[in-house]
Structure 1
Amino acid sequence: MRNAGQSNEEVMRQVYALHARALHSYITKRVDGDSHLAEDLTQETFLRASSHLEITSAEVADLRPWLVTVARRLIIDTYRKRATRPSEQSLELAAHDVAACNDQSDNIIQMLVLKEVFGILNPAQQEALFSTHFYGYSSSESAGLLGVSPGTVRSRTFYALRSLREALADT
């Protein structure tokens, strides 16, 4: 990864300048908008990248898929830690959660319908649709993450949306 004559710090500055914004956006969406957690996970991702500078031989611009993989694993680890050590809640909060669940029954039904409808899409269409519409990446950014051309991402997204519209019209 290191270019001739560049220190680790200079290389990391380049990596950070090129990938930090997109990576932070990706992480923020995956942690339900928790900006503090997203910032912590973004920093941890770049910290891990800096400790592996000698291991990888990729160019600075080609590191985003690797950084996203590291971030995804950190997010999973964070959720696992939270699941094994749940926070304490008062009885009032628990009662509020139960009331909120009762109010969410329509949302649950909608989610079940959407889950079933998303099942008709092939995995490539699902990846393209999630990347562009749920994670907010452009076709070019999605193409880089998925390893296909931007036109392929646009095509898969178009056909996925068309299939969803048809399936939802039938339900």
Structure 2
Amino acid sequence: MNVTVIGSASAASTEERALRDLYLEHGPALYAYVLRMLGGDTHRTEDVVQETLLRCWNKQNLADDEGMAVRPWMFRVARNLVIDAHRARTARPLEIGGATWLTELGTESDDIERMLSSIVVNDALETLTPAHRDALRATFLADRTTQQAAVALGVPQGTVKSRVYYALRSLKAALAERGVR
């Protein structure tokens, strides 16, 4: 099997030789130009330069028929390709799979779960009456006994017990409304 390489001396057609000559003449400058526009990303630069050369390849007799200079046309095509690629990337979000976004955030899924649970519980706590909310905060959240909470709230211990009981019932109902069992 005989394979013809564009940059080789055995490039058969005049179009292939013309493309090779274009690359040899304008390739390094085009590459440097695109590399600067892409902030040093060599992989994307190579893609843009290749696409520019392919478009030049598809445009038959670029300089001859239209009487225009090839270099400015190639640089304009490369610039437009970079702009189009940038617009395409910003138009739709980056696709990532699985829990990749969690590791990129530096957060474990358990931490996220705790954070979401905390938000839901705090939202449910806001539905309670202030007296019930204070009783729960004084006991469970402050890690106090009902006697210590009674002293802190300035009410009898029996009142704290009653408020905690009814607060827990209301909290359970509020969480059930939010889909938490």
Higher Cα radius of gyration: 2
- Name the one with the larger helix percent: 1
Relative CO higher for 1 or 2, CA cutoff 8 Å, sep ≥ 6? 1
